[in-house]
Amino acid sequence: MNFTKPLIILTAIFLVISFVSAAPASKIPGIAITSPVSGDRYSSGCKITVSFCVDCSITYIDEINLNKFAPGNKVAILATGINLNEGKQCYSFDYTLPTGLNPEPRYLIGIGSNYLALSGSFSIGNPGFGLIVTKPNVLQNKKCGGKLTVKWIDPYNLYQDLTLNVFLNGYPSLIAFSQNVLVSKGEVTATIPTGLQNNKAYNAVIVVDRLNNDLGGEFYVSNTFTVNGC
């Protein structure tokens, strides 16, 4: 797999993800999405519950959007102008997905027009392909310079002979985490870089070159997790 092409392309895509400045561990900034989670499956025209927790400095979200393949490739804007209650940290809203969406395992919920947070990749319909990132877990808390394990499954057994690369979507760009890992291995453990910003909204991003497309490969996003102690 060509490591350079996905890194350049995906770094450009994820440049729009903005993190709030660092704060003490008891008040870690950012937004942690708790629903949907990686591997969830929905149908076009059905209800989706979007749940998230925020730090106390966030009182307004300009939009919640549905994306296909990547942040910035918006399929729909589910809500706009959301005022958050002072002192309340966690929220849950129900929305209706658009009808006629193509079967695809790489849908994402974005919080904010500038993507303050991304959900894990989830399916709409029965796409018949795709990886599912099963770890990190929702709300998992990791330390700068500590170890992080990323796990995935290949439910359709389409990727077993391929390799993948793993990134962290940190500010201001994607961060290389582990390269040329066999899909069949199912997991990789590596060290989280030091010098990152404390935030609730980190994701692991898996890139596998199964399809020749403009993004440089298929990529799949984990649930949000926290990096702290930076």
- The tens digit of pLDDT for each residue in 96-127 reads 999 999 999 999 999 999 999 999 999 999 99
Rounded Cα gap, residues 22 and 10, in angstroms: 24
Give the alpha-carbon dihedral of 156, 71, 51, 91, to 10 degrees.
Answer: 180
Region of poorest pLDDT, from 35-49, 193-207, 211-225: 211-225
Is residue 51 within 8 A of residue 92, CB to CB? The reply is yes
- The predicted model scores a pTM of 0.86
Strand partners, 71: none
CATH code, residues 4-228: 2.60.40.1930
pLDDT number for residue 219: 87
The number of CA neighbours under 13 Å toward the Cβ of 153 is 7
Rounded Cα gap, residues 113 and 4, in angstroms: 28
Strand partners, 181: 164
Rounded Cα gap, residues 174 and 217, in angstroms: 15
Q: Which residue would you say has higher pLDDT here, 56 or 164?
A: 164
Closest CA to 142 of 20, 219, 224, 221: 224
pLDDT number for residue 10: 52
Q: Cα–Cα distances in Å, from 56 out to 27, 47, 61, 95, 190?
A: 8, 28, 13, 24, 31
User: Which structure tokens are listed for 107?
Assistant: 């849908």
- The tens digit of pLDDT for each residue in 133-171 reads 999 998 899 999 999 999 999 999 999 999 999 999 865
The distance of Cα 2 from the centroid of its chain, to the nearest Å, equals: 22
Q: Where are the domains of the chain?
A: 4-228
Closest CA to 55 of 124, 111, 123, 131: 111
Q: Cα–Cα distances in Å, from 206 out to 47, 106, 174, 212?
A: 27, 11, 11, 16
Is residue 206 within 8 A of residue 219, CB to CB? The reply is yes
Is residue 105 within 8 A of residue 123, CB to CB? The reply is yes
